[in-house]
Amino acid sequence: MTISRHRAASRPRRIAVLSVHTSPLEQPGTKDAGGMNVYISQTAVEMARRGTSVEVFTRATSSDQPPVVELAPGVLVRHVPAGPFEPLTRGELPSQLCAFTSGVLRTEAFQEPGYYDLIHSHYWLSGQVGWLARERWGVPLVHTAHTLAKVKNAALAHGDTPEPRTRVIGEEQVVAEADRLVVNTEVEAEQLVRLYGADPDAVRTVSPGVDLDRFRPGGVEGARAALGLSPEAVVLAFAGRIQPLKAPDVLLKAAATLVRRDPELRRRLVVLVAGGASGTGLDQPASLRRLAGELGIADLVRFLPPQGGQDLVNVYRAADVVAVPSHNESFGLVALEAQACGTPVVAARVGGLPVAVADGESGVLVPSHAPDDWADALARVALRPAVRAALARGASRHAARFSWQRTTEALLDTYAEATRAFHGTALEVAV
């Protein structure tokens, strides 16, 4: 048997994907929906195209939700009743894990033995469920953390709430029990080993992708017209969940610094903030508006609801620069999407952003969150047409190195490897 035939044979027929706290059906940029939702939906669709069926288990948040929804051919989303039919905070969700686990196990119990070949859990809450399902079903568990409590707490935004000890312990348990741990970057792999004692042999680095058919360079004037923006405007944009972790306040303070340095810029500057409240940032939209007023730039800031489809593409294309000032990012899909649209990114030098953004080639990385440093970086790109044009070309080239097809192939290879190791089979290669 050749390596490729053995690889195909050991890939799972059907996997159970666990996403307790957020559904791939939700709009990214609001509540707890973000890059993880995109990751799950995109890879699930790609897996189904390659012959692996995917069933995503997520908590039901409304009695109106059907028990099962087809996301795409070969991809089902199962809404599991667990607690009240309403959104719950991540702090409230641990109390519903028993009910959620029961629902997942009950679903499998109605199928033929061996119905699921593998479990892939996303975020630590799902990992707790996956750990138990792994023992019951006798199949391997692959886990992706997406964010880590110890890392977040070490880079906490001013005034933000630390992640609780409960989560830290829960993450440690999942790291110890999972057969494979999938991370976005080598930096995250090192953090898992150093901070959580992960077995280096169990960690696999798989970079997320970007939908290169949807996010691609296009007409700037058309995008600006759709948003009611002048062709002559200097447009700075932020897209994502509005919470302290994502630090949209850094962009506002930097914009105010730019205007203070050059009062004439006020006539042309526009700051777009697209997203909804999330997590510990439930009061953020109101506080950001107050901050804009206090900084004297309320007339320059436009707040948009979470954008999807062509509307999000228009935001990226309309911007001279997309800012990603997060205090921590395991990767930064917004940065990749913006670059795929040919827009340079100015991002914080944290987490996985140095992988998502090629410093000096597709954007600029800022080593601090100081307004002056951010104003310098934004001005270097937005106010210098030649620099911006060079970075725009580099942005689309850099983003083209990433795709969901490549991500999915790497995940399926990881699943096959985990399955062979779990069942104790050896790789056979014909000579």
253 marked as binding residue: no
Q: What is the dihedral of CA 317, 320, 325, 330, to 10 degrees?
A: 40
35 is in an annotated binding site: yes
Task: Return d(Cα 311, Cα 325) in angstroms, integer.
Answer: 22
Type of residue numbered 297: I
Query: 């062979």: which residue's tokens?
Result: 420
Which DSSP string do the residues of 241-302 spell out, in sequence order?
Answer: -BSGGG-HHHHHHHHHHHHHH-GGGGGTEEEEEE--B-GGGTTHHHHHHHHHHHHT-GGGEE
Does the annotation list 261 as a binding residue?
no
316 is in an annotated binding site: yes
Tell me: is residue 32 an annotated ligand-binding position.
Answer: yes
Alpha carbon distances (Å) from 287 to 162, 278, 298, 387: 20, 13, 12, 34
Does the annotation list 90 as a binding residue? yes
Q: Is 31 annotated as a binding residue?
A: no
Q: What is the distance between the alpha carbons of residues 371 and 311, in angstroms, rounded to a whole number?
A: 29
Nearest to 259 by CA among 373, 375, 385, 386: 375
241 labeled binding residue: yes
d(CA 138, CA 141): 9
Q: Would the annotation count 138 as a binding residue?
A: no
Element (H, E) at 378: helix 371-382
Q: Give the N- to C-terminal CA distance of the chain in Å, as an integer.
A: 9
The residue to which tokens 């790609």 are assigned: 46
21 known ligand binder: yes
Residue 311 host element (H or E): helix 309-318
Spacing of C-alpha 391 from chain mean position = 23
* Residue 314 counted as an annotated binding residue: no
Give the sign of the dihedral formed by CA 99, CA 102, CA 108, CA 111: negative
33 is in an annotated binding site: yes
Longest dimension (CA), the chain: 73
The reply, when asked if residue 246 is annotated as ligand binding, is yes
**CB atoms closer than 10 angstroms to residue 187:** 18
- Find out whether 5 is annotated in a ligand binding site: no
Mark the binding-site residues for UDP-N-acetyl-alpha-D-glucosamine, compressed into ranges.
27-28, 35, 241, 246, 307, 329, 337
Mark the binding-site residues, compressed into ranges.
21, 27-28, 32-37, 90, 123, 147, 167, 241, 246, 307, 316-317, 319, 329, 337, 343
Mark the binding-site residues for Mg(2+), compressed into ranges.
316-317, 319, 343
Mark the binding-site residues for 1D-myo-inositol 3-phosphate, compressed into ranges.
21, 32-37, 90, 123, 147, 167
